[in-house]
Structure 1
Amino acid sequence: MRNKDIKSLAELHLEISRVKMECERKEAQLKDDTRSYIKQFSPLNLIKDFFNPQSLMKLDGKTNLSGSIMSLILPMFLNKTVFRGSGVITKAIAALVSGKVGKSLDVESLTGLFSKAKSLFTSFTSKKKKADVNFVDYGIPPDSETY
């Protein structure tokens, strides 16, 4: 703290107003810093930072998280759908094989599979639309002799 020599009442009022202004400025700056700090660690911001495609590929490159998840989910999915009526031995063999296949999958292969499936669905819908567009009606009835 500074020691000021205040010699008159006017200087005292001037110093009080200066201190109040400085206090308000520091208060506003502290509020802004607190808001930015809280915003930095908000759940939405953390989700944006950790679950974008680049960070998922980096994380998966180090830990092969997608392969571990697929090695658990793929056998359960196949046993519930494809091998529903099969015996215990068939289900066990399918679980072992699909577990090994699931471990070999990574983010790039999964995104490639999803993009191929998406392109198949979009190609089916685009073919249907193209068939309707290519039909041209010239105004000739189908039962006329010129048809």
Structure 2
Amino acid sequence: MSKRYNIQNLEELQAYLFTLKSGYMMQEDMLKQNAKLYVKQYTVSNLIKKYATPSSFMKVDEKLNVSSKMMSLVLPIIMNSTLFRGSGFMTKALVGLATSKMGKSLDAEHLSSIFNSVKAWFNKPKKTTKRTMQVDYGIPPDSETF
């Protein structure tokens, strides 16, 4: 099935070719712009802005318990490599078992509260000093207005 065009002479043919060329150039520009917007959605910085918020971490953690799984793996390693470095195999195994069980019970809220309490130990308490403010009525103290 071929289309029939009502072209009578060379000028009409060139005009029709020009309109076709300008049409596909406009479509090309629109496709380029749409592709740039699409690619920009999935850049690393845009993905971080979209998904790496504290609220999204809490939502992910509520669903998957990522922090408790991570703590159940990391906590025994830390305890055995620091506090129980020179102990024997049985002690390390018991510590590993106990800390992995304890790590499973920790979630993001518990970890943030523990972090805040430890941070409070190292922050110096701010000293509050009471200053007595004297009210200045604009009268110098040496004046004889009493």
Instruction: Give TM-score scaled by structure 1 length.
Output: 0.71
What is the root-mean-square deviation in Å for CA atoms of aligned residues?
Answer: 2.6
Instruction: Say whether residues 1:91 and 2:92 are aligned partners.
Output: yes
Give the aligned partner of residue 142 of structure 1: none
Which runs of no fewer than 5 residues in structure 2 stay unpaired?
131-146
Question: Are the structure 2 counterparts of residues 61 and 4 from structure 1 closer, same or farther at C-alpha, using a change threshold of 3 Å?
Answer: same
Give the aligned partner of residue 102 of structure 2: 101
2: CA distance, partners of 1:51 / 1:6: 60
Give the aligned partner of residue 53 of structure 2: 52
Give the aligned partner of residue 144 of structure 1: none
Query: Displacement, 1:117?
Result: 3.2
Tell me the matched-pair count: 129
AA paired with 2:63? K
After superposition, the C-alpha distances for 1:46-101 in whole angstroms (9 at most, x for unaligned) are 44444332222222112211111100100110111111222333222221111111
Query: Displacement, 1:10?
Result: 3.0
Question: Are the structure 2 counterparts of residues 2 and 22 from structure 1 closer, same or farther at C-alpha, using a change threshold of 3 Å?
Answer: farther
1: CA distance, partners of 2:39 / 2:4: 37
2: CA distance, partners of 1:85 / 1:10: 95
Give the aligned partner of residue 13 of structure 1: 14
Which secondary structure state, in structure 1, belongs to the residue aligned with residue 102 of structure 2? Answer: helix
| 42-51 or 103-112, larger mean C-alpha shift | 42-51
Query: Displacement, 1:110?
Result: 1.5
2: CA distance, partners of 1:94 / 1:67: 17
Instruction: Say whether residues 1:41 and 2:55 are aligned partners.
Output: no
Which secondary structure state, in structure 1, belongs to the residue aligned with residue 15 of structure 2? Answer: helix
Give the aligned partner of residue 32 of structure 2: 31
Which runs of no fewer than 5 residues in structure 1 stay unpaired?
135-147
Instruction: Give TM-score scaled by structure 2 length.
Output: 0.71
Query: Displacement, 1:2?
Result: 5.9
1: CA distance, partners of 2:14 / 2:117: 76
Q: More helix per residue: 1 or 2?
A: 1
Tell me which structure has the larger Cα radius of gyration: 2
Give the aligned partner of residue 72 of structure 1: 73
